[in-house]
Amino acid sequence: MGLLSLIRSLKKKEGEARILVLGLDNAGKTTILKCLSEEDITTITPTQGFNIKSLTRDGFNLKIWDIGGQKSIRPYWRNYFDATDALVYVIDSFDRKRIVESGSELDIILEEEKMKGVPLIVFANKQDLVGAMSADEIADELNLVAIRDRPWQIQACSAKEGSGLTEGMEWLMKMLK
Amino acid sequence: MSQVKLKKFLLRYYPPGIILQYERDGVMKQKPVDLLDLGPGVDIEALCSQVIKQEPLVSENRRPALRQLMGRLLEKMAETQHHSFSLFKLWDVETGMERASLLGHKAEIVSLNFNTTGDLIITGSFDHDSRIWDVRTGRCVHTLSGHRGEVSSTQFNHAGKDEPCFHGAGACVNAPLCLQVCTCTLVLAPLCLQGAHACVNAPLCLQVCKCTLVLAPLCLQVCKCTLVLAPLCLHGACVCVCVCVCVCGHTDEVLDVAFDAAGSSFVSASADGTARLYNTNTGVCAHTLIGHEGEISKVAYNPQGTRVITASSDKTSRIWDTQTGECLQILEGHQDEIFSCAFNYEGDFIITGSKDNTCRIWKAATATSQLLHEHAVASRGTTGML
């Protein structure tokens, strides 16, 4: 292995991807993470700091970073932007009051230089609740159609029931390949 | 009653906090403690007391450890967030003072070279761009984009003189497993390149000739601009589209390129274990330097242009005759792969840098002699790798 390949290997391992999971507090980021790694989701508390999970999917080693979404920790999100291959943004579809706040946090992330061109999947979580906003409604609210600098997708899901997550991850894997 | 024992403190930088690692009934568990209020001017002792009071796991005798951890968190917070590789600094050789920071690249800079007159620098970066910088002002004179992969090597040619023309070469990865080295010709003043009708708007306007590269999967090519087809005016600078003459050769990635002092020939080094000598004007491969048993990561000419030195992962460097393509000598002695090699200005000393953490200086009897003797082994700590 020569110098160039050495530098390259330091940068990124083949078949490895770093996925960042962000969203407001109580959106269900940790629940989605636990659901994906088939862990118990009955006792989830607000995330202090962050959780990391390593998953293998289609031969890909996914390093998933779930960063807490409380207002006090949001300023630290940007410390995790480096070398991100895909962004998962989770939204509480039942929380109509904070959809605008959620949208503006997303806008800030997308404007970051380090997140330039990083594929985005928005999980419209908590679809199991009656009165939850639909994926279309949320897409409108966040004006996702205006995103032209990266591939993006919105996926309705319920982490509690485990629905929609597989579809979303499939799209994500397609982007990573 | 369950047994709880604090085992370890872990530091969490973003957001600032401490993670308590403890053992409960033989099972290791973690508990994060947020320290979001921590910042310059905060009373650390008070914060320590607060943590000790709130966390039953942390007793008073842990205070010194806590204090130390908070100190480290504060240190980290004081660091600038912008510790990217996107800048490199320019130092004054005589005063040792920093003269300018050249900002612009968005990823690691892996290659950097001065031109012969010392007023320009060319850099190659993992952000797929090469940039040319003005040494005096520290400003980016031109960005050479177009490559679809990391630019691993950049070179000016040394034609120099009054000729306001120089070459920049960059390696680019265009398709998986395909790496190309192309030489782009840059014209600095109204000057025609091989009969091209160059339209330059202002004196000192940079004209960039973009290479259209012919791609063949898994094929490695060295391209050279020969023909300027049509000048197009773009943003005040002239961009010319060139036709490339492709000279295939290497069977694996090209890792380094170098011009000779006259700029009339260049050499490429490849992961396929060979180096190739080319004529700059015709693009014809004059010699293939075969012998290394591992990839060649660095090549260099001596100032006279009579010798080429290669550095390889087979732990040897080799000296080659540029006229005949013969290997004149093998420099053996390094314990690990050699990443770098260079001649001194007179061409009578060679220095090699290796992964074994040493640099070795080799003495050549004269630049034209065929035998070189290992003169001194200078093991100087950790000069090796990067």
pLDDT tens, residue by residue, B350-386? 888 888 888 888 886 543 333 334 433 433 333 332 2
Residue A3 pLDDT greater than 60, yes or no:
no
Smallest CA–CA distance, residue A76 to chain B, in Å, is: 6
Arithmetic mean of pLDDT, B261-267:
79
User: In terms of pLDDT, which residue wins out, B197 or A38?
Assistant: A38
Does any CB of chain A come closer than 8 Å to the CB of residue B234? no
In this structure, are residues B190 and B221 in contact, taking their beta carbons and an 8 Å threshold?
no
Does any CB of chain A come closer than 8 Å to the CB of residue B106? yes
Interface contact A2-B19, CB threshold 8 A:
no
Measured between alpha carbons, how far is B273 from A76 in angstroms, rounded to an integer?
46
Measured between alpha carbons, how far is B63 from B219 in angstroms, rounded to an integer?
63
pLDDT at res. B311: 92
- Interval B128-161: pLDDT, tens: 777 777 777 777 777 776 665 667 677 666 544 3
* Structure tokens given for B370: 């065929």
- End-to-end distance of chain A based on CA atoms, in angstroms? 25
pLDDT at res. A66: 92
Interface contact A3-B15, CB threshold 8 A:
no
Measured between alpha carbons, how far is A68 from A29 in angstroms, rounded to an integer?
8
* Structure tokens given for B340: 């770098």
Smallest CA–CA distance, residue B234 to chain A, in Å, is: 23
Measured between alpha carbons, how far is B124 from B117 in angstroms, rounded to an integer?
19
Position B196 confidence tier, pLDDT thresholds 50, 70, 90: very low
pLDDT at res. B240: 29
pLDDT at res. A159: 92
pLDDT at res. B188: 27
Count of CB atoms within 10 A of residue B177's CB? Answer: 12
pLDDT at res. B312: 92
Write the secondary structure of chain A as one string of H (helix), E (strand) and C (coil): CCHHHHHHHHHCCCCEEEEEEEECCCCCHHHHHHHHCCCCCCCCCCCCCEEEEEEEECCEEEEEEEECCCCCCHHHHHHHCCCCCEEEEEEECCCHHHHHHHHHHHHHHHHCHHHCCCCEEEEEECCCCCCCCCHHHHHHHHCHHHCCCCCEEEEECECCCCECHHHHHHHHHHHHC
Per DSSP bridges, beta strands A50-57 and A86-92 are unpaired
Arithmetic mean of pLDDT, A149-160:
93
> Looking at the partner chain, which of A4, A49, A72 has a beta carbon nearest the beta carbon of B32?
A49
Arithmetic mean of pLDDT, B97-109:
69
H or E, element range at B53: helix B44-54
In this structure, are residues B193 and B208 in contact, taking their beta carbons and an 8 Å threshold?
no
Closest-approach residue (CA) in chain B for A1: B313
pLDDT at res. B239: 29
pLDDT at res. B92: 66
Give how far Cα B122 sits from Cα of B128, B152, B179, B200, B381, Å: 13, 12, 20, 22, 29
Does any CB of chain A come closer than 8 Å to the CB of residue B265? no
Q: Which residues of A touch B253 (CB under 8 A)?
A: 4
User: In terms of pLDDT, which residue wins out, B167 or B314?
Assistant: B314
Closest-approach residue (CA) in chain A for B295: A2
Say whether B75 sits in a helix, a strand or coil. helix
pLDDT at res. B102: 67
Position A90 confidence tier, pLDDT thresholds 50, 70, 90: very high
pLDDT at res. A13: 57
Interface contact B106-A113, CB threshold 8 A:
yes
Active site residues of A: 70
Measured between alpha carbons, how far is A66 from A51 in angstroms, rounded to an integer?
5
Residue A85 pLDDT greater than 50, yes or no:
yes
Give how far Cα B65 sits from Cα of B35, B38, B40, B60, Å: 15, 16, 19, 10
- Interval B59-97: pLDDT, tens: 888 899 899 999 888 888 777 554 444 445 666 666 666
Least confident of A9-18, A117-126, B139-148, B374-383: B374-383
φ, ψ of residue A134 in degrees (nearest 5): -80, 165
Q: Which residues of A touch B340 (CB under 8 A)?
A: 3
Q: Which residues of B touch A78 (CB under 8 A)?
A: 81
pLDDT at res. A120: 95
Interface contact A4-B14, CB threshold 8 A:
no
In this structure, are residues B335 and B354 in contact, taking their beta carbons and an 8 Å threshold?
yes
**Cα Rg of chain B (Å, integer):** 27
Arithmetic mean of pLDDT, B229-241:
27
* DSSP letters for B147-190: -SS----EEE----TT--EEEEEEEEEEETTEEEEEEEEEE-SS
pLDDT at res. B237: 26
> Looking at the partner chain, which of B14, B81, B297 has a beta carbon nearest the beta carbon of A2?
B297
Residue B226 pLDDT greater than 80, yes or no:
no
Measured between alpha carbons, how far is A139 from A146 in angstroms, rounded to an integer?
10
Residue A156 pLDDT greater than 70, yes or no:
yes
Arithmetic mean of pLDDT, B295-306:
88
Complex prediction ipTM: 0.71
Task: Please name the amino acid found at residue B9.
Answer: F
Measured between alpha carbons, how far is A124 from A92 in angstroms, rounded to an integer?
6
Task: Please name the amino acid found at residue B343.
Answer: F
Residue A98 pLDDT greater than 70, yes or no:
yes
Residue A97 pLDDT greater than 90, yes or no:
yes
User: In terms of pLDDT, which residue wins out, B169 or B339?
Assistant: B339
Closest-approach residue (CA) in chain B for A69: B15
CA angle B331, B335, B341 (to 5 degrees): 45
Instruction: Name the H helices within B62-144.
Output: 63-78
Measured between alpha carbons, how far is B317 from B334 in angstroms, rounded to an integer?
9
Count of CB atoms within 10 A of residue B103's CB? Answer: 14
Closest-approach residue (CA) in chain B for A47: B32
pLDDT at res. B76: 82
Average pLDDT, chain B: 66
In this structure, are residues A123 and A91 in contact, taking their beta carbons and an 8 Å threshold?
yes
In this structure, are residues B104 and B131 in contact, taking their beta carbons and an 8 Å threshold?
yes
Arithmetic mean of pLDDT, B276-293:
83
pLDDT at res. A102: 95
